[in-house]
Amino acid sequence: MRLEGVEHRQILQALQEPISEYDFGAVGLTVVNGMEDFIWDPHLVDDSDVALFREYATQMRLLALGERDEAAILALQTQFPESYSRLVVEMKSMGMKTINPKAISEVKYSDSERAEKARPVDDAIARIKNEANKIVWAADHQPEILEAHARIRDRRLIGRIGIEKYDRANDYLAKSFYKTLSELRKHQEWHRKQQVIDVTPEPAREK
């Protein structure tokens, strides 16, 4: 029992050790740059509204490909209010005070050099799209990632137990069992003899 307890604790410890990129490679899963958090913990997407993030990804991609003018932002507000609300939240986080389709489409950075490269709306769209793409990717690949986690645990379990180790432990337990059984039988035989009453008649004495 002590031996089994030690093996049980060692197995649990091995199964709970952090998973490395090498472990994923050993079971055929490539760690994608930027997706590490979702690969190491595939349950991060369980509380996410994946359908909504799919909408974010699609609408932000379309905006990034289009003009991103007032008409485009107004159409987003009318047809996809959830995506528009997410864009508003991102613009507010960037310090924008006045929020409406016209302001969103026309506001520029105060830094002239920075304003030439991108507008706040461009950066906001890119951030939302990047976040949404990660959630969508993680949701689409969650079964594959969960399977990889299970295969890694199986490999660790097999490696920790090992057929040879198991046989040695089994032999040890078997020898201990039969040794104990032999001693028990000896004790039972001795105990039986103590309770036997000798009824053999004594030889007659000569007078």
Mark out the alpha helices in the chain (DSSP H runs). 2-16, 21-26, 36-40, 50-65, 70-79, 81-93, 101-106, 112-117, 120-161, 163-195
**How is the chain split into domains, by residue range?**
6-161
b/e burial code for range 88-108 (CB count within 10 A of at least 16 → b): bebbeeeebeeeebeebbebe
89-125: pLDDT as tens digits: 999 998 888 899 999 999 988 876 665 678 899 999 9
pTM of the model: 0.66
34-80: pLDDT as tens digits: 888 888 888 888 877 999 999 999 999 999 999 899 999 999 999 99
